Structure 1
Amino acid sequence: MQANIGDVAQRAKVSSATVSRAFKHPELVAEATREHIIQAADELDFAVSRSAAVFQTGQTFRIALLLNDPSSTWFNAHVYEGLDSVLHPAGYDIAIYPIGTSDDRHVFFENLPIRRNADAVVIASFDVDSKEIERLHSMNVPIIGISALPEEVFDYSIATDDDYAMRLVTRHLLTLGHRDIGYISLDPPENADGSLHYSANRRSNGFLAECAEAHIEPAMLHVPNTSQRVEHALTQLFALDHMPTATCCEQDRLAVPLLSRLQRLGYAIPDALSVTGFDDSTYASEVGLTTVRQDPRDMGARAARHTLGLIARIDDDSEDGAERNNDRGETNDETAGETNNKNNKTDKTPPIHESTQIRMMFRLSTGPAPNAV
């Protein structure tokens, strides 16, 4: 007869919850105790399979990743890489859910509690409705945000301070003597209803605030986030009464190709026009783009580590509650549920928000304004 987790617990003289924790979250068990449990498991030829763990704990070992832009974009691809670098070794898969509108987001949060097919939800770059995630919180499904809004609704979130970072970029241009500045932002794709909001939108707030303090009125341009975004940006720039001496781009994905196209059209960068971006993405260094550096891979890895910690805490609360029920002889699901609910109300971890370090990359795409005094 094949040994079970109870047999290992009896042989090692520990609780079943401790045995479970030793295999699922070994970092939470003292080394001596862990080795004692492993020895007992070896003696009994006990092995933990993924399917058994799913059956016993209700875990799916799947993390839902909600993305608005394609997963192949620079930011999303590096977020995924960072998440996977931590989650994959821990035995978790990542399921990507494309979210184009607030309706898509609403459907996801409505269906997830029914399907119960994810142990945690990670949202990258866009906003959520606090009412939509209340049900997940009641089910103990951690919600993690990466450059997502609003920060206070997530169990853990990490982001760059977009407002302040763009203030630094604008301040740099002002210091160089620029007073005629344009700002180019990327609107949502044309097939979206525009109901989602993005952390990148805060960059324009920082830009406008810095310009207001300098008593200048910038040109605000908005282009659709499509494959024709550079053409739209050039069209709007050339439609202005005159070309500004500096242009802030909301993202490198616009700034890099725009910079290259302007140079091919004969504009001297930065003598006639300074250009800045945001991200320090692929090719930004090669084209000499002044920009703000983000590290989405690191953000993803840090978010993944906190995700595992949140899942582990929920598991521990459930196991401890079940252990207390077993000690009292209370094994029915209703009693166990009441115990777990009490634990969740008293032991809920306060939300954590981290801001990444802001670092500007000063390169050759910016210089003194023409005729600056």
Structure 2
Amino acid sequence: MAGIVEIAKKSGVSPATVSRALRGLHHVNEKTRKKIVDAAQALDYPIRPDLLPRNESSRTNTIGVIAPFLSRWYFSQSVAGVEQALREAGMDLLLYNFAQIDARQRVFQQKKLVGKVDGLIVMSLRPTDKEFNQILGLGIPVALLGGIDDRCSCVSIDDVKAAEEATQYLIDMGHTKIGIVVGQRELAFNFEVAIQRKTGFLNAHKRNKIEFNPAYELTADFDNHTAELAMDEFLGRKDLPTAIFCESDEMAFGVIKSIRKKGLRVPEDISVIGFDDHEFSQILGLTTVAQPPRFLGQLAASQILAAIEKPDSELGKISVPTTLVIRESVAKLN
């Protein structure tokens, strides 16, 4: 991120003048201050809202939502929940959707957001320190959906605990050879859910003194297609687990399809458990961890709306419980 020196060069003044102007000190004439603020905005430097032009600091009645991979079930459901809550409050939604890291860099630029939204909801993407400085510098409420951070309001589930409970159910059903389909952590986006759910999976093994076989770990992209391909290759091995924990229902769908293509049965040959409670999970009889993404979106929107009305209110931290939904995809071993 650019600093005082870069702003000074762009605006043609000294760094000391830039510092005084951006701190709101009075001994800087307004023409010079405007030139400095314009330069700072062009360089994506966080600016105090009271220094922005009046038309940019006024209410827009619009809330911004930053969400990756909108085609995925969790994100589309969460956005639907946000939209419903905002519609009922007479507010509009401005969606920033992206699936590439360069798009993320553009979205988090302050100049893309300033004056356009009264609040911001970030889904499943823990902002970097640089990004946090940029969005907090807007002087608007920020909520993180699907993560926890002390700098803003948060709505989340306990992914570690939920995955641990799902794995414990498999163990209680007599399974000790358990595989896992891990979602790509996608380091460029800094997703944490994949590693959190794997941590819960391993915690259950450790608590029950069961050694996990690393050869039973598959990797996919939180979708059914890549999970199906990974499972196709995996089923060519001689040593197979009796059950598989999938970190999302969409990956579970691909796993089940692959198992059936091989002429095997779920759960008689291989048991499968998912995570999400996607609408199709009931149709397939998939045992899964149910989470309420639409409700999570509504809660995040409510946090933002409350913070707009009472800017000095305490930052909210809400953890929503999950539920293990038992259907027909897990067999009990003798």
Residues 1:267 and 2:261 are matched in the alignment: no
- Measured at CA, do residues 303 and 114 of structure 1 come closer, stay the same or move farther in structure 2, by a change above 3 Å? closer
Residues 1:355 and 2:319 are matched in the alignment: yes
1:264 to partner: Cα distance: 4.3
Alignment correspondent of 1:4:
none
Is residue 56–residue 116 contact of structure 2 (8 Å, CA) maintained in 1?
no
The aligned runs of 1:250-329 (5 Å cut-off) are 250-314=247-311
Q: Choose from 188, 195, 212 the match for 1:201.
A: 195
The aligned runs of 1:41-120 (5 Å cut-off) are 58-70=58-70, 72-101=71-100, 103-112=102-111, 115-120=114-119
Alignment correspondent of 2:20:
none
Which residues of structure 1 form unaligned runs of 5+?
1-53, 315-347
Distance 2:223 2:281 in 1: 20
What SS class does the counterpart of residue 171 from structure 1 fall into? helix
Is residue 184–residue 219 contact of structure 2 (8 Å, CA) maintained in 1?
yes
Alignment correspondent of 2:36:
none
Is residue 101–residue 196 contact of structure 1 (8 Å, CA) maintained in 2?
no
- Measured at CA, do residues 354 and 226 of structure 1 come closer, stay the same or move farther in structure 2, by a change above 3 Å? closer
Partner letter of residue 272 of structure 1? D
Is residue 167–residue 209 contact of structure 1 (8 Å, CA) maintained in 2?
yes
TM-score with structure 2 setting the length = 0.76
1:207 to partner: Cα distance: 0.5
Distance 1:125 1:68 in 2: 8
Alignment correspondent of 1:151:
149
Alignment correspondent of 1:129:
128
**Offset from partner CA, 1:159-178 (integer Å, 9 cap, x none):** 11000000001101111111
Distance 1:269 1:62 in 2: 47
Is residue 287–residue 330 contact of structure 2 (8 Å, CA) maintained in 1?
yes
Is residue 224–residue 252 contact of structure 2 (8 Å, CA) maintained in 1?
no
Residues 1:216 and 2:198 are matched in the alignment: no
Partner letter of residue 288 of structure 2? T
What SS class does the counterpart of residue 117 from structure 1 fall into? coil
Q: Choose from 324, 329, 333 the match for 1:365.
A: 329
1:138 to partner: Cα distance: 3.9
- Measured at CA, do residues 225 and 199 of structure 1 come closer, stay the same or move farther in structure 2, by a change above 3 Å? closer
Partner letter of residue 256 of structure 1? F
**Offset from partner CA, 1:161-216 (integer Å, 9 cap, x none):** 0000000011011111111110001216xxx7634223343101110121123232
Is residue 177–residue 368 contact of structure 1 (8 Å, CA) maintained in 2?
yes
Is residue 221–residue 236 contact of structure 1 (8 Å, CA) maintained in 2?
no
What SS class does the counterpart of residue 139 from structure 1 fall into? coil
Alignment correspondent of 1:339:
none
Partner letter of residue 199 of structure 1? V
Residues 1:242 and 2:236 are matched in the alignment: no
RMSD of aligned Cα (Å): 2.4
Alignment correspondent of 1:229:
226
Distance 1:89 1:231 in 2: 40
**Offset from partner CA, 1:43-75 (integer Å, 9 cap, x none):** xxxxxxxxxxx95960122211111112x3321
Look at both structures and tell me which one has the larger radius of gyration over its CA atoms: 1
Partner letter of residue 190 of structure 2? L
Partner letter of residue 87 of structure 1? L
Is residue 203–residue 250 contact of structure 1 (8 Å, CA) maintained in 2?
yes
TM-score with structure 1 setting the length = 0.68
1:367 to partner: Cα distance: 1.5
What SS class does the counterpart of residue 167 from structure 1 fall into? helix
Partner letter of residue 109 of structure 2? E
Residues 1:185 and 2:185 are matched in the alignment: no
Is residue 160–residue 198 contact of structure 2 (8 Å, CA) maintained in 1?
yes
Is residue 158–residue 356 contact of structure 1 (8 Å, CA) maintained in 2?
yes
1:86 to partner: Cα distance: 1.5
Partner letter of residue 178 of structure 1? H
What SS class does the counterpart of residue 201 from structure 2 fall into? helix
- Measured at CA, do residues 209 and 116 of structure 1 come closer, stay the same or move farther in structure 2, by a change above 3 Å? same
1:152 to partner: Cα distance: 2.2
Give the number of equivalent residue pairs.
278
